[in-house]
Amino acid sequence: MREAILEGKSKYVVRDAPDPVPADKEVLIKVRYAGICGSDLHTYYEGANIRHGHEFSGDIVAVGADVKGWEVGDRVTAESHSWCGECFWCKRGETGLCENLYVIWAQIPGVFATYTKVEYNRLYKLPPEMNYEEAVMVEPTAVALHAVNISGMEIGDNIAVLGLGPIGQLIARLAKLSGAGAVYATDLSKSRLELARDVVEEVIDVSAVDPVARILDLTGGRGADVVFECAGAIAATQQSLALARKGGTVVIPGVCLHPVETMISDIPLRELTVKGTVFFYSAEFATALKLINEKKIDGASLITSVMPLEDIDEAFRKAASGEGGKILLQP
């Protein structure tokens, strides 16, 4: 088969590799499409030398001896991570916080390849009317749904979404679906603002408009009830605290790997709640699949490029440009 491997910082090579053989509890899947995630971009810059990719759809082509309920030909997607089931967090049901998650993550080769192996308990069958492209959007939708679910947002709330990459786009849509009074969304990229324009009350181009002043203006000087920092950027992180109303909540799915200078006294003095979020629970993955299948979330509209796996380097450069929506690779 063919597989893409990072060879140093920001450099992929596509090479031949032996076809994987599924273990007893695994199925072998021929990958139809694989999505590029923001977290893949971090590892791209770092050059982490493993096979990446965790958003995908495909067909089962072989099943292990102990696999129950799945057969060759099933159209599937799967949860992006496995957990140990034994640590403190797994036993609390907080599987997305499993202490062995990243160890397992690094051990399981990703989906930027012709074939991938998956434990059968992570699989989900695609409904007949769901196409392979939109099925790739289930995993990022589950990530976005978890962020909305933990935010405590209420019907009628004013919501600010900072950063309109795929996760920000999905959070904006899910917030609308959950009864937000208004959603205000910010980005630098014209193409990303365009993707959200018809979905939210107002898109704010931060290259031309001060988002803090504008959102304060739009909310009677109070600020947003809930702010989602989806850019993983220094400026957006600073804005997120300034934008939240007194007593409001800031949810941070964006992963900013730089120190951020901010007045931390905003948190006690304005009684802000700050929540981090990563991954999702299994029930949220199932809900995300249902929302996309019922077209309540139009996952397909967020896919702006489909490229062959052989062009993965170009696809990553495109993803790193901060323009457009989800990029899919086709092995």
User: What does the block give as tokens for 220?
Assistant: 């009677």
Q: Which stretch binds Zn ion (CB under 5 A): 95-103, 149-157, 281-289, 320-328?
A: 95-103
111 binding Zn ion? (CB under 5 A): no
x/- contact string, 29-48, with Zn ion (CB under 5 A)?
--------x-----------
- Cα separation, 146 vs 251, in Å, equals 11
Q: Does 300 contact Zn ion by CB under 5 A?
A: no
| Segment interacting with Zn ion, rule: CB under 5 A, options 43-51, 75-83, 236-244, 251-259 | 75-83
Chain centroid to Cα 142, Å, comes to 7
Closer residue to Zn ion, CB minimum distance, 20 or 38: 38
Site for Zn ion contains 126 (CB under 5 A): no
Among 27, 90, 138, 224, binds Zn ion (CB under 5 A): 90
Nearer to Zn ion, 4 or 98 (CB): 98
CB of 276 to Zn ion, least distance (A): 16
In the complex, the smallest distance separating the C-beta of residue 42 from Zn ion, rounded to whole angstroms, is: 10
Cα gap 121→138, rounded to integer Å? 16
Contact residues for 92 (Cβ-Cβ < 8 A; gap 6+): none
User: Which CA distances in Å does 256 have to 98, 100, 229, 311?
Assistant: 21, 22, 10, 27
* Residue 60, beta-bridge partner list: 29
Nearer of residues 70 and 89 to Zn ion, judged by Cβ: 89
> Where would I find the H helices in 131-201?
132-135, 138-151, 166-177, 190-197
| Rounded-to-integer distance, Cα 59 and Cα 28, Å | 8
Query: Which one, 94 or 205, has the nearer CB to Zn ion?
Result: 94
Q: Is 98 in the site for Zn ion (CB under 5 A)?
A: yes
The alpha helices in the chain, defined as continuous H runs, are 38-46, 88-91, 101-107, 132-135, 138-151, 166-177, 190-197, 211-218, 234-243, 266-269, 282-293, 312-320
CB 89 within 8 A of CB 95: yes
The C-alpha atoms of residue 65 and residue 148 are separated, in whole angstroms, by 39
- Least CB distance to Zn ion at residue 37 (A): 3
How many positions of this chain bind Zn ion (CB under 5 A)? Answer: 6
Q: How far is the CB of 107 from Zn ion (least distance, A)?
A: 14
Near Zn ion by CB under 5 A: residue from 1, 17, 84, 286: 84
- Are β-strands 326-330 and 303-308 bridged in parallel, bridged antiparallel, or unpaired? parallel
Nearer to Zn ion, 83 or 285 (CB): 83
Q: Is 145 in the site for Zn ion (CB under 5 A)?
A: no
Instruction: State the nearest-atom distance from the C-beta of 99 to Zn ion, in Å.
Output: 6
Query: Can you read off the two tokens belonging to residue 331?
Result: 């092995």
- Minimum Å gap between C-beta 224 and Zn ion is 25
Residues that bind Zn ion (CB under 5 A): 37, 83-84, 87, 90, 98
